[in-house]
């Protein structure tokens, strides 16, 4: 037992930070960092006082009974839901990242567990990513097994995360059920209170029985289109609006295939950095030494696919040393649509974090220039640092600006302009586990207005006879083809330049656009249109 938190009293941190009940005193949240630090210190002091501890008393023991990967997963799920964390642990910080996670556990739950081992890190990534993806289904099952709906609706956030972990481990990971029950019951008792452990025990044992008898309470796909979409949204754990939209665009069968892809293990790809003199053969040899399963990309010469072992690649320093970059083939194919040639001047209009910028710069072979424009100063700084690592800083110029303002003020015209527009990200849901819950239909409508504005601004930077490429990581026609139709109606000086000369035929549409399909191509979903500006036709609107 670590401290008295492990007995019948709950952690003061779980009581203050995680309970939905108001604090037992009134306070206002300070905005300045110094005041915030003092405010947090007062909160911690109050918590210790409530638990009968002195404010400087430190936790003496590590709780050996609680599963470390489950404790970290529960806290990380809390942080994701509160908007402060990502769903994976891929990091170049290695053991430092694991130590940070343990620090979060201690601050949130009030005790420490043993340190995370490599296996624990993989489990945290799998469980957190899976619990986020399958949240709608997991919550449906939890609600079904609660005595009353009110029990579920008023459940403490930490208790809900522990149940989600247990349900995911039993339903989707097929872990030994009674070990899962025992471990999660212990976590609930230590992190919250014995009564919480009893609730976890009762609900998880019901689930085990239903799983063993193949009688999970799943909705039936029946009724009208709306009712079927609601059922599919639960079974495949997606927002209802996405299910209805994809069913309308793709048909129900293809929509289900797409959701299955989004719920599968994410697949990653590495691009070798030829600007540093490395070849794909060099990268393959290093992956073989690390025993990382891999296969060459069938559509991009500089890319290698890795199904598992990306953490091993990161920890081995291959990214830090500039040997390769993590970049999906779909992004590489967008660069192929741009077709950078030595001596050209190119603008990347929404450049950060810079993957396409770096790839375009490497294809210039030291001749020409890529201007990287972005609103985010911090991400631009990272791009500049990475360009030095890749030996590309001589051909990349970073500009901190809003594209719309920049295009109004500058008289410069460029050979090629890439607008990789802000979008819904509906093509990358397999990698972004939390994104499906952070998007709404209203977001989509607002993004389309922004995309039109940015396309108009980007068009001002294209010289006569130059190329404008519009791309997204979305699979939604309204963000893709329909934006181009709208743009061309307003900008007759541009015309579609078919992409069939730049990407494999399997990625070209009948309209001459590039499109990747996650289900068909086993890569992220993305889109690109290549537009050429007339040599002599001028649009008065671009002068305004």
Q: Is 355 annotated as a binding residue?
A: yes
317 is in an annotated binding site: no
356 Cβ partners below 8 Å, 6+ apart? 331, 334, 335, 348, 418, 420
Q: What does DSSP assign to residue 38? A: H
The annotation status of 353 as a binding-site residue, yes or no, is yes
**Separation of alpha carbons 404 and 400, rounded Å:** 12
Q: Is 425 annotated as a binding residue?
A: no
* Closest to 16 measured CA to CA, from 42, 47, 38, 40: 47
DSSP 8-state secondary structure symbol assigned to residue 220: P
- Asked whether 396 and 484 are in contact (CB, 8 A), the reply is no
For residue 356, say whether it is annotated as part of any ligand binding site. Answer: yes
d(CA 451, CA 157): 37
Place of tokens 């911090």: 378
Helix (H, G, I), strand (E, B) or coil at 333: helix
Catalytic residue chosen out of the listed positions 146, 299, 324, 473: 473
Whole-number Å distance between alpha carbons of 236 and 458: 38
Which helix (H) or strand (E) element contains residue 194?
A: helix 194-212
What tokens were used for 419? 């607008």
269 is catalytic: no
CA dihedral 479, 485, 488, 490 (to 10 degrees): -80
Annotated binding-site residue? 98: no
How far is Cα 530 from Cα 337, in angstroms, rounded to an integer? 7
Question: Would the annotation count 118 as a binding residue?
Answer: no
Would you call 526 helix, strand, or coil by DSSP? Answer: strand
Q: Which two tokens stand for residue 456?
A: 């108009």
**CB neighbours of residue 394 within 10 Å:** 12
Assess contact for 310 and 380: CB atoms under 8 A: no
Q: Is 350 annotated as a binding residue?
A: yes
Q: How many whole angstroms separate alpha carbon 183 and alpha carbon 384?
A: 46
**Annotated binding residues:** 350-356, 374, 402, 420
Residues acting as catalytic residues: 473
As annotated, the binding site for S-adenosyl-L-methionine includes: 350-356, 374, 402, 420
């Amino acid at each position: 037992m670590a401290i008295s938190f492990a007995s019948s009293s709950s952690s003061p941190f779980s009581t203050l930070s995680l309970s939905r009940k108001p604090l037992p005193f009134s306070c206002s949240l300070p905005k300045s960092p110094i005041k915030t630090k003092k405010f947090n210190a007062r909160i911690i002091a109050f918590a210790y006082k409530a638990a009968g501890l002195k404010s400087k008393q430190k936790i003496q023991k590590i709780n050996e009974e609680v599963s470390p990967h489950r404790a970290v997963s529960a806290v990380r799920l809390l942080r994701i839901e509160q908007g402060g964390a990502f769903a994976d642990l891929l990091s170049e910080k290695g053991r430092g990242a694991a130590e940070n996670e343990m620090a979060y556990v201690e601050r949130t739950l009030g005790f420490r567990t043993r340190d995370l081992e490599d296996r624990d890190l993989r489990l945290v990534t799998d469980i957190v990513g899976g619990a986020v993806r399958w949240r709608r289904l997991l919550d449906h099952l939890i609600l079904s097994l609660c005595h009353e709906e009110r029990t579920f609706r008023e459940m403490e956030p930490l208790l809900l995360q522990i149940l989600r972990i247990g349900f995911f481990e039993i339903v989707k990971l097929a872990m030994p059920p009674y070990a899962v029950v025992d471990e999660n019951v212990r976590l609930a008792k230590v992190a919250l209170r014995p009564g919480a452990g009893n609730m976890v025990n009762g609900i998880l044992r019901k689930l085990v029985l239903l799983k063993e008898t193949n009688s999970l309470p799943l909705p039936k796909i029946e009724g009208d289109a709306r009712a079927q979409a609601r059922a599919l949204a639960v079974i495949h754990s997606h927002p209802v609006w996405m299910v209805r939209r994809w069913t309308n665009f793709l048909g129900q069968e293809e929509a289900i295939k797409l959701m299955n892809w989004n719920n599968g293990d994410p697949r990653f790809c590495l691009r070798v950095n030829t600007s540093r003199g490395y070849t794909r053969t060099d990268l393959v040899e290093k992956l073989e030494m690390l025993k990382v399963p891999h296969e060459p990309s069938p559509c991009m010469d500089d890319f290698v696919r890795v199904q598992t072992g990306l953490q091993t690649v990161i920890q081995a320093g291959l990214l830090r040393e500039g040997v390769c970059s993590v970049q999906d083939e779909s992004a590489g194919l967008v660069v192929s649509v741009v077709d950078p040639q030595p001596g050209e001047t190119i603008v990347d209009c929404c450049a950060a974090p810079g993957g396409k910028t770096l790839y375009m710069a490497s294809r210039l072979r030291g001749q020409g220039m890529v201007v990287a424009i972005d609103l985010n100063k911090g991400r631009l700084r990272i791009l500049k640092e990475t360009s030095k690592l890749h030996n590309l800083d001589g051909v990349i110029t970073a500009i901190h600006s809003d594209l719309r303002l920049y295009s109004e003020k500058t008289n410069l015209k460029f050979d090629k302009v890439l607008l990789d527009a802000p979008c819904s990200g509906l093509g990358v849901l397999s990698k972004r586990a939390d994104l499906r819950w952070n998007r709404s239909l209203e977001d989509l409508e607002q993004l389309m207005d922004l995309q039109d504005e940015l396309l108009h601004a980007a068009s001002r930077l294209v010289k006569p006879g130059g190329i404008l490429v519009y791309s997204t990581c979305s699979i939604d026609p309204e963000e893709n083809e329909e934006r181009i139709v709208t743009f061309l109606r307003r900008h007759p000086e541009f015309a579609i330049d078919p992409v069939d000369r730049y990407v494999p035929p399997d990625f070209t549409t009948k309209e001459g656009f590039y499109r990747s399909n996650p289900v068909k191509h086993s890569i992220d979903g993305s889109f690109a249109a290549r537009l050429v500006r007339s040599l002599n036709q001028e649009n008065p609107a671009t002068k305004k």
